[in-house]
Amino acid sequence: MKKLLVLCTVLFINTLSAQHIYKHRKFFGGSFYINSDALKDITISGKTTDKYGNEYWNNSPYEKNQGGKDIDVRAKFRANITYGYFPMDNLAIGSRFIVSSNSFNQEVDTLYLLQNKSFDLTVGPFVRYYIEIGAQPYEIGAIFIEGAYQYGIGTSEDNLRLTINDTISWKQTESYDYTLSVFKAKVGFCWYLSDFISHNWFTGSLLALEPSISYNWTTKSDKDANAHDRVQKYRGIRFNIALVSYF
């Protein structure tokens, strides 16, 4: 009888492991990430230059003749919540909610300093396809490919300062709200944790650690101080580590 119970338990665990990316399964998790997003373009009312023919501020790629230094970008806080569902084997759809806070500094010739702080909230759908690694019931994980779209709102504050002879001669603060949209292409690995950890004492859940890398196309739209439509475009690579429960 004891041998039969042990055998049934082993079969039960293996069945859970083998079916977590199959039809009608679900998953839920959260993550943090670091990024290299850089500003590529600014357009105001659809134009990239002002009335004098000068190009609007652009920090990437850095051009020496513009007299500016590369921007120091610091991600202060990033968190997201993800929920997914498998309408068919190995294919998942779902939604993601992201909260992020950023800051950066730009210094020009040690005289001019621009400090920016922003806070964003975005939400949107994603679709993901899994390719399992290893034969059942000994699979170690799965590679996944994902496409996603996010839309949301944000608020930003710019602090500008001009320093001459170590004395602040002029400063200005400007705050504005904006909308943003993000397209994302991602590839990652779903690493199944051990049976002891992942099945949480046979409750049916399987935990997975999911490192990934994505490329992001981000567009921010707002109105500048002169009520002109301003569009900022960012491009960059993002590294992400998520802890996800499949059930």
- What is the model's pLDDT at position 96? 97
Token pair of 7 as six digits: 């055998």
- The C-alpha atoms of residue 39 and residue 42 are separated, in whole angstroms, by 8
Taking the C-alpha atoms of residue 78 and residue 143, their distance in angstroms, rounded to an integer, is: 24
How crowded is residue 140: how many other Cβ atoms within 10 Å of its Cβ? 11
Contacts of 55 by beta carbon, 8 Å cutoff, 6+ apart: 48, 49
| DSSP-assigned letters across all residues of 217-243 | EEEEEEE-TTS-EEEEEEEEEEEEEEE
Of 2-6, 132-136, 233-237, least confident by mean pLDDT is 2-6
31 vs 65, more confident: 31
Q: What percent of the chain has pLDDT over 90?
A: 34
Contacts of 182 (CB under 8 A, 6+ apart): 122, 124, 148, 149, 150, 151, 216, 217, 218, 219
State the sign of the Cα–Cα–Cα–Cα dihedral 1, 195, 28, 87. Answer: negative
Name the β-bridge partners of 93. 85, 127
Amino acid 147: pLDDT: 98
Decide which of 133 and 50 is more confident: 133
Q: 169-189 pLDDT, tens per residue?
A: 677 787 889 999 999 999 999
Residue with tokens 């994302």: 184
Of the two residues 137 and 219, the one the predictor is more confident about is 219
List, for residues 213-240, the tens digit of each pLDDT value. 999 999 999 876 666 788 888 888 888 8
Number of Cβ within 10 Å of residue 9's Cβ equals: 11
Q: In this predicted structure, what is the pLDDT of residue 102?
A: 78
Separation of CA 179 from chain center: 16
Q: Which residue has the higher pLDDT, 185 or 32?
A: 185
Residue 134 pLDDT? 78
- Collect all residues with Cβ–Cβ distance below 8 Å to 230 and sequence separation of at least 6: 42, 43, 44, 221, 222, 223, 224
Q: What is the pTM of this model?
A: 0.73
At residue 125's C-alpha, the angle toward residues 177 and 230, to 5°, is 25
In order of their start, the domains of the chain are 2-246 (2.40.128)
